Amino acid sequence: MTLLVGFVLSGSTSDEAKIQLTEAGEERLREGQLVIIESNRGSELLLARIERIVPVNEFFVEGDPWSEARRRGLLPPLAEEVARRYTLAEAAILGKAGRRGLEEPDRPPKPGDRVRMLGSGELEKLLGVERDAPGVVWYGELLGYEGLGLPLDIENITMHVGVFGETGSGKSYGVGYMLELLSRIPLGDGRYGALPAVVVDANGDYLDYHEAFASGHRLGEYHAVYRLVFPRSPARFEPYTRTVTIDLDVFTARELAEFIVTYKSGGVDVNELQVAALERVLRELGEEYQSYTEIFTRRVSELYELLSELSTGRGAPIHPQTARAVRSAVDKFVGDIVEGYGVISRKPSIDKGFIDELTAQPSLAIIDFSAEGAPGIPLPVRQLVVAYLARLLYKVFTEYKVRGEERYLALVIEEAQNYAPNPRTYPVAWSLARDYLALIATQGRKFGLCLVLVSQRPAFVDPVVLSMVNTWIIYRLAVEDIPYVSKLSGGLPRSLERRLTRLPRGIAVVTGQMNMLGFPALVRTGRRRVSHAMGRTRLVESLRRVYGVGEGAGGKG
């Protein structure tokens, strides 16, 4: 027997039920929670979500005879004991149990029908999915139901996922939890498999997984967990750690010219004269050497020679002033990025072979942009790396497709607004990565590339990219982001929308294609098996140390 929480009242429709709660219901139910209506005396089962709860007490009604007494601070005698008290609830009817999952409800419940909590195993039956069905993972806990997860259809991750919420609302923890689920996807016959993934880890939130793996723990079915750090990182010699090196040959002359010129100016605007000049030089040299990496690592002097040749004499195609500016931009690019950070290599560590390896033996690669993994590496360089990665993935996955080979990979991007910025609202310097991320967003599904975009401010993320996101995990949001997110995610019910600004840490609205319920649900993130050290702050603990609080007599240091 499951808990009886209410009875249907008159005036219900097939969309919405009016309910009076039982005492148990008053105690237990919260807005956003799912319940079962045993409709028409139990002849059919309806799944419904509590939208609003309204307590009523006849001695406390606006304008009633006790109004004056209340003004004077008096309570009506026996108000609590003898008053007619009850609690009303409104519930949205989401579907009717059918043979193959939920169906459109076609008749309203009758007054007097019982309303109860979901029983164990009942959700599976209602949706027509088995607990260990291939391709289904059970995410966290539906609000108010211990141990009952939200079924997610892994197939639909190919239509991309957006994870949004304010700082500290639980995004990174939640994405880590999601990766744990993706590391153990039921495949049928009692077997499990992992979805290959690359995480662009802005703050080192995912390094716990690497550490656990490197010290002998497994992460589901992942064959390996790699950490990628920049060549100057002190962590580069650790086990299962590789350096981040890329080449420049995935880019066009135009793209490189744009990057180099804006890297120097640090601006959002692109100086067209300089870009055109550098593009021309790169094209000419590129024809000769067939490799921009070669030019920038070994033949910069030839680049300078050509530049000065093209800007000398009457009628020279490049103005000397432009040539000087271009030269100084190239100087800075080579000094910082090629020689300084050491990121450019003719044998890049992130290459087709690496992607082959990750996808053939499903593994997780964490690109570590934390202070330890990417010491002193400025945003434009991180953007360059992400742009490279996006292009490489697109290229390699297109080749797989052409060869008739199906492979899949999730690309998780923390702080997505830095790589696919919305040019109208987020004036982070121009990003080389945006176009290819947009391409993956629009085309990736056909190639098996799945984006998981994580951001505090969805309004700062490129709308083209966001418009392709089909599954939304929405944690506590800033008020100004709510209408935007609600619209993009296809409209949220008012009851959930209202709560978005107040969601406690770790609770999210999950909506979209992966959500097998077919309607937005409030879900508590599940517990990670590997802890999350990075997100933790210890302000008070550290002040206690500074002030020597709680230290024994001799222990003052």
Ligand X SMILES: Nc1ncnc2c1ncn2[C@@H]1O[C@H](COP(=O)(O)OP(=O)(O)OP(=O)(O)O)[C@@H](O)[C@H]1O
Token pair 């880890």: residue: 201
Among 22, 87, 158, 169, binds ligand X (CB under 6 A): 169
- 515 touching ligand X, by CB under 6 A: no
Question: 409-445 as b/e, with b when 16 or more CB fall inside 10 Å?
Answer: bbbbbbbbbbbbbbeeebebbbbbbbbbbbbbbeebb
Beta carbon of residue 538, minimum distance to ligand X (angstroms, whole number) = 10
In this chain, which stretch among 40-48, 167-175, 288-296, 394-402 interacts with Mg ion, using CB under 5 A?
Answer: 167-175
In sequence order, the 6+-apart residues with CB closer than 8 A to the CB of 439 are: 390, 394
Q: Which does 532 bind (CB under 5 to 8 A by kind): ligand X, Mg ion, none?
A: ligand X
Shortest distance, position 143 Cβ to ligand X, whole Å: 13
From its phi and psi, is residue 11 left (phi > 0), alpha (psi between -120 and 50) or beta? left
Rounded to the nearest 5°, which phi and psi values hold at 108?
Answer: -70, 155
* Site membership for ligand X, residue 171 (CB under 6 A): yes
Distance between alpha carbon 82 and the CA centroid of its chain, in Å?
Answer: 52
Can you read off the two tokens belonging to residue 420?
Answer: 């696919």
Query: How far is it, in rounded angstroms, from Cα 67 to Cα 99?
Result: 54
| 361 binds, options ligand X, Mg ion, none, Cβ within 5 to 8 A by partner type | none
35, β-bridge pairs? 48
Contact status: 204 vs ligand X (CB under 6 A)? no
Which spans in 403-523 are helix H? Answer: 434-447, 463-466, 482-488, 494-499
- Residue whose CB is less far from ligand X, 39 or 183: 183
For ligand X, the closer CB: 361 or 531:
531
Is-contact 431 419, C-beta < 8 A? yes
- Asked if 87 is part of the footprint of ligand X (rule: CB under 6 A), the reply reads no
Of 88-96, 116-124, 163-171, 465-473, the window that binds ligand X (rule: CB under 6 A) is 163-171
Minimum CB–partner distance for residue 13 and ligand X (Å): 37
Q: Tokens standing for 219?
A: 């992460």
Beta bridge partners of 508: 523
Residue 108 found at the interface with ligand X (CB under 6 A):
no
Query: Considering the rule CB under 6 A, would residue 170 count as an interface residue with ligand X?
Result: yes
- CB 456 → ligand X: shortest distance, Å? 5
The whole-angstrom separation of Cα 229 and Cα 235 is: 7
CA–CA distance, 326 with 257 (Å, rounded to integer)? 9
Find which of Mg ion, ligand X, none residue 173 binds, CB within 5 to 8 Å per kind: ligand X
Binding mask 294-333 for Mg ion (x = CB under 5 A): ----------------------------------------
The dihedral through the CA atoms of 123, 126, 129, 132 has a sign that is positive
User: Pick from Mg ion, ligand X, none: which does 168 bind, CB < 5 to 8 A by kind?
Assistant: ligand X
Nearest Cα residue to 173 out of 475, 503, 538, 500: 475
Residue 525 binds ligand X (CB under 6 A): yes
Task: Tokens 């945006």: give the residue.
Answer: 434
Q: Rounded to the nearest whole angstrom, what is the least distance from the CB of residue 454 to ligand X in the complex?
A: 7
Q: Which sign, positive or negative, has the C-alpha torsion 397, 399, 400, 404?
A: positive
Q: Residue 326 in 3-state DSSP?
A: helix
- 286 contact choice in Mg ion, ligand X, none (CB below 5 to 8 Å, kind-dependent): none
Residue 370 interacts with Mg ion (CB under 5 A)?
no
Give the residue with the Cβ less far from ligand X, 256 or 522.
522
Say whether residue 311 binds ligand X (CB under 6 A).
Answer: no
| Rounded least distance, CB 533 to ligand X, Å | 8
Instruction: Kindly state whether residue 456 participates in binding Mg ion, applying the rule CB under 5 A.
Output: no
Per-residue mark of binding to ligand X, 475-514 (x: CB under 6 A): ------------------------------xx--------
Q: Which stretch binds ligand X (CB under 6 A): 35-43, 166-174, 208-216, 487-495?
A: 166-174
Q: Does 168 bind ligand X (CB under 6 A)?
A: yes
Residue 457 in contact with ligand X, rule: CB under 6 A: no
Measured between alpha carbons, how far is 488 from 472 in angstroms, rounded to an integer? 9
DSSP secondary structure letter of residue 49: E
Q: Which residues contact 441 (CB under 8 A, 6 or more apart)?
A: 160, 451, 464, 465, 468, 469
CB 208 to ligand X: min, Å: 10
- 172 makes contact with Mg ion (CB under 5 A): yes
Shortest Å distance, C-beta 170 to ligand X: 3
Q: Which is nearer to ligand X, 329 or 523 (CB)?
A: 523
- Of 106-114, 130-138, 143-151, 170-178: span binding ligand X (CB under 6 A): 170-178
Q: Which of 403, 502, 536, 556 binds ligand X (CB under 6 A)?
A: 536
Which residues have a Cβ under 8 Å from the Cβ of 85 and sit 6 or more positions away? 55, 56, 57, 58
Q: Helix, strand or coil for residue 479?
A: helix
Q: Which is nearer to ligand X, 401 or 505 (CB)?
A: 505
The residues binding Mg ion (CB under 5 A) are 172
